[in-house]
Structure 1
Amino acid sequence: MRHFTSFLFIMALLAMSGCATLNSVNPFPRHIYSTPGSAQRQPQATAPRSAKTNPYTVMGRTYHPLKTAAGYAETGYASWYGEDFHGRKTANGEIYNMYALTAAHKTLPLGTRIRVTNLENGRNVILTVNDRGPFVSGRLLDLSYGAARQLGSVDRGVTKVRIEAIGTVPASRPVHASASTSYHVRVGAFANRDNAVNAHRTLIRAGYKGSRITTISRNGRTLHVVQAGSYSNRDRAERVRSALRPHFPSCYIVG
């Protein structure tokens, strides 16, 4: 079951080589609410280009995000969203990775870390709020596919949950323009999206939780780029590349 929520990066590509993602912030992307076999585009939210807590308007209703998540705890219903949004931009400017542990919430500050407990089976998972939604009556949270899978709610679709705020994602440190912010291990660029998805799943199963797929167009050709992860130092990236080379011989580092 798929639900409602929620780039341009110029890069060099080698055949069967991956790429990093870097996106300008677009806090409120177009949302699509879909049910199996159908999809309906909803109006785009209009709002200032905010960081985490600016008010925003969707379908004529204005939402006022909390200034702080401290002490937040609530019970309600959670849905999930997956492949239809995979690779699209989220409210905080990141690219949505359906296999990562993230969620969309209407009013929690972007970057809030939450513990979500499935009240129907007792499973729980820690997630990061990086998107806005779900703008559907009776829904409190939209889980990523990966989060819903860990909570055991994929087949059920909508599940009653308990949400507790436990902190925030640390802010990024400013760097000098001449400094490299990170090193990206790229493993593949695929014309066939299914091949990219299979490579991405292999990385996730191997423990590379920061892996992602980015779709780009270059010279009239669409490529689905798979990245194993980004690392703060070259030595770490080299170790990851060495570990991956038996499976992805053409993988290399950009940074």
Structure 2
Amino acid sequence: MAVSVLVVSGCASSPAPESDHSSRYTLSQDRAPDGNFDASGLVDAKPRYEAPRSAGNMSSYKVWGKQYSVLGSNDGYVERGTASWYGEKFHGHKTSNGEVFDMYAMTAAHKSLRIPSYARVTNLDNGRSVVVRVNDRGPFHGDRLIDLSYAAAKKLGYQSRGTARVEVAAITVAKDGTMSLAGRPYPGSAAPVPVERVAAQPAVGSGESALFVQLGSFSSRSPAETLMGRARDAVADPLRVREVETASGRFHRVQVGPFSNPDDARKAQTRLENRGFGQTILLTDSH
């Protein structure tokens, strides 16, 4: 049965810029698709270089009388806030850059990131992450940071609640294919980066450094313990929740390891991702 989410999550890209009178606004409420859509097999958007476009990238625009600015570059962007989602009300209609919105694709709407672009979105309540392609503008409801497609929201586990606390980190791709995550090397393509805000200073530890596979990082311990419990049922490798103080506050890192060499760490990372722990990262931390 379709679930109405207007009151909880609002319309992602609505309203469009004031000159748009698209028929997509004829539905008074957004809603989820009928049936039990299975998002478990969905693959994250694959970042790739896309030449800059003019569509959807005006330096500034106005919606509901409020002025918004588009970033000159997504490099270094990382922010935390509230995510909502959008579905049937916009399905099949054009996005801000002229593409067709598909609520079953891994896409998103953002007020200021240049489009099209890519971002890693992490649900801070359960540690799940997805990579989405940003191709629309919004959300313009309250102080929400990003609107994900219904499919992406379901993969992050908040589609029934309507909103979630998330971290959004921009992924930029150069012409030569090199990638960065919020201004730092993208995991898997170069040096690993932490899940915490990239602006945070490295944690200070007294022990020796070693390689770990990190599953998630949380401001409170409870979701970290929950994630570690899930991992304990899936792998036999050592697990820990490491509490660290950073420039952005206290975090609880769910980590597998330590590993003595990169090959062993990457093999463990592959095992974890094959068991459903997507967007793991490899990092060096105190033993």
TM-score (norm 1): 0.50
TM-score (norm 2): 0.44
Higher RCO, 1 vs 2 (CA within 8 Å, ≥6 residues apart): 1
